[in-house]
Chains A and B, each alone.
Chain A
Amino acid sequence: MEVIMSNKTILGIYSDDELLVKGARQLRDKGVKIKNVFSPFPIHGIDALLGIPRTRLAICSFIYGVAGCSLAILMMWYMMIYDWPSDVGGKPNFALYMNLPSFIPITFECTVLCAAHLMVLTFLLRSKLLPGVTAPIPDVRCTDDRFVIQVSATEANQNDIISILKQTGASEIK
């Protein structure tokens, strides 16, 4: 109980992304848990230090694409071959395999439509990005020119963390 109670979050604010990476690496080597990093642009290599697994959004996109492709073919088969086959300009619609060549453009468009939009939607929901959401940012400058590292500290290692942050060039520590 005591340990949980004394858990607190320390913020280290850097003005350079490379310094933050240096600090994060030292903290990780000390076995300190880094909660999160906020930055105005992607810092490459930070995912590994934070132990963030690779996102699966690309796989989602592939599945959405396959679904879009199948739905498009199903729709065109139903409308043109099954429900109301019509003979426009001497081009009758007898069977799906005969029509597939002229169905390719729309099948492709529907694949892209579903893959793109549903992936973006998944991303927005997963990262809790919606109109009206208040941004839970630790410092108001972290979308402009400051790089913020959030570290969870205990009574025991609190001073170590602060000294590492100071040594690696954090301009402010909160």
Chain B
Amino acid sequence: MQEASIRVPLIIGNKSYTQLSDDICRPVEGKANKYWWMAFIISFLALLWGVASLSYTVGTGIGSWGLNKTVGWAWDITNFVWWIGIGHAGTLISAILLLFRQRWRMSINRSAEAMTIFAVICAALFPVFHMGRVWLAYWVLPLPNQFGSLWPNFNSPLLWDVFAISTYFSVSLVFWYLGLIPDLATIRDRAARANNKMRNTIYGILSFGWKGSARDWSRFEEVALVLAGLSTPLVLSVHTIVSMDFATSVIPGWHTTIFPPYFVAGAIFSGFAMVLTLMLIARKVLNLEDYINVEHVEAMNKIIILTGSIVGIAYITEFFIAWYSGVEYEAYAFINRATGPYWWAYWSMMTCNVITPQLFWFRGIRRSMVATFIISIFVNIGMWFERFVIIVTSLHRDYLTSSWTMYHPTFIEVGIFIGTLGLFFTCFLIFSRVFPVIALSELKSVLKAIRENGSSNGGHHE
């Protein structure tokens, strides 16, 4: 395949196939360094705190949260939408960028897909525990029952969400694991050569007996391509349906037709920010600086500018339409967002999501690891506030002034959120030691194209 010669190499250094395997399998085959252990212990403690808070919620009831009659959705649904949004970057990188044949995705797709899976697990916890009696969560499924038989309401966006998120989670999981199989086989056979019986057996089971024959590869590539084609509309549908949870209601501030594209852009925006936050740490801790380098960071930052600008335009459009529609409730909801008691949340959102990503128009900032890391944190915070603003500010001023109220999170709710952060990072850290964090076989298949192209413009132009 031809590549423009002005492109810079995606992998630094002239690596051979053997070196690629050595570098990428090292975190799996070696011992963890002290940074890994430090990160793991902190994440695990956060996870334990979350488990304690969730147990308290289940034991006491949803009354342990700060919700009230007016604000019935707040912290938990904010976190649900935030986590689901973060998951979207993984599918975008693995499916949509595969269809667009973007080669730079190969260094980051594996870990971004893993991130998707862990983020969706974190997200799903919130609505499930918000049900209150969590042991009855299976009632959302269309199962034959003794109540009549009473079926779930298929006209409800909340049920669409159940289907969308279960499909999204299971398809992402299968897509991710399928890509892992050849790499797990590599680890299995490396273990056989190193006479490591236990690792050979474990990875032998995990790799499903992969042999890598010509016929296997031809099927494998077809399946990967079709899965990418299926995942692309799937990922767009998931956040569209999440936005319909709000858009199909009659609450001013929620009842908005631009929600689906606006939510999808926001999801990709926040997802890429989280990928950057994670990868900038992971490349250091796992010694993968040659594989995840400034070119990858710059490419992701360009997507951040694009989606960040879409989100910014959506905020302004919403505001304009609130005035232009002439609906006084709608207009009030938006003026109240910017100037009401939650003004600080609104302006945090505007600053973090609309202003900070615009700094990436400067090449120096786009290519600086430190600046990218800081801005990615800002975007993560900003996108959390976006969901908080949409959910809480639209609810807290009800139609009747007598119902007006404020929402404040409790210690328990904050604990659950911190627990999901702990769960996410614990899962990711375990993943980085158990599975190869870079798609090894995919990277090998493009190594030559990358290398030839790299040597032809690595400073010595013939």
Main secondary structure of the interface of B (DSSP, over half): helix
Known: A116-B230, A142-B212. A40 touches B171 (CB 8 A): no
**Closest approach, in angstroms, between the C-beta of B389 and any C-beta of chain A?**
26
**Closest approach, in angstroms, between the C-beta of A78 and any C-beta of chain B?**
9
**Closest approach, in angstroms, between the C-beta of A54 and any C-beta of chain B?**
8
Cβ contact within 8 Å between A132 and B205: yes
Known: A40-B186, A41-B442, A135-B211. A123 touches B153 (CB 8 A): no
What are the residues of chain B within 8 A of A43 when measuring CB–CB?
214, 217
Chain A proximity mask over B141-179: 1 for CB below 8 Å, otherwise 0: 010000011111111110110011011001100110010
A interface residues, how many (CB within 8 angstroms): 63
What are the residues of chain A within 8 A of B383 when measuring CB–CB?
none
Residue from A39, A61, A129 in contact with B217 in the complex, judged by beta carbons closer than 8 Å:
A39
B48 an interface residue at 8 Å Cβ cutoff?
no
A143 an interface residue at 8 Å Cβ cutoff?
yes
Cβ contact within 8 Å between A37 and B213: yes
What are the residues of chain A within 8 A of B441 when measuring CB–CB?
40-42
Chain B proximity mask over A63-76: 1 for CB below 8 Å, otherwise 0: 00000000000011
**Closest approach, in angstroms, between the C-beta of B440 and any C-beta of chain A?**
8
For window 8-24 of B, CB contacts with A under 8 Å fall at: 16-18, 21
**Closest approach, in angstroms, between the C-beta of A171 and any C-beta of chain B?**
13
Chain B proximity mask over A55-91: 1 for CB below 8 Å, otherwise 0: 1011001000000000000011001100110101001
> Considering the chains assembled together, what is the distance between the CA atoms of A126 and B237 in angstroms?
31
Name the interface size band of chain B. 35 or more
Cβ contact within 8 Å between A137 and B222: no
> Considering the chains assembled together, what is the distance between the CA atoms of A56 and B174 in angstroms?
20
Stretch at the interface among B36-44, B188-196, B343-351, B367-375: B188-196
Residue from A38, A58, A88, A129 in contact with B153 in the complex, judged by beta carbons closer than 8 Å:
A88
What are the residues of chain B within 8 A of A19 when measuring CB–CB?
none
> Considering the chains assembled together, what is the distance between the CA atoms of A55 and B225 in angstroms?
12
Cβ contact within 8 Å between B209 and A130: yes
Cβ contact within 8 Å between B223 and A143: no
Cβ contact within 8 Å between B217 and A41: yes
B433 an interface residue at 8 Å Cβ cutoff?
no
Cβ contact within 8 Å between B181 and A129: yes
Closest to B161 in A: A105
Residue from B21, B164, B178, B210 in contact with A105 in the complex, judged by beta carbons closer than 8 Å:
B164
B273 an interface residue at 8 Å Cβ cutoff?
no
> Considering the chains assembled together, what is the distance between the CA atoms of A144 and B153 in angstroms?
52
Cβ contact within 8 Å between B230 and A135: no
> Considering the chains assembled together, what is the distance between the CA atoms of A75 and B230 in angstroms?
22
Residue from B167, B185, B208, B244 in contact with A143 in the complex, judged by beta carbons closer than 8 Å:
B185
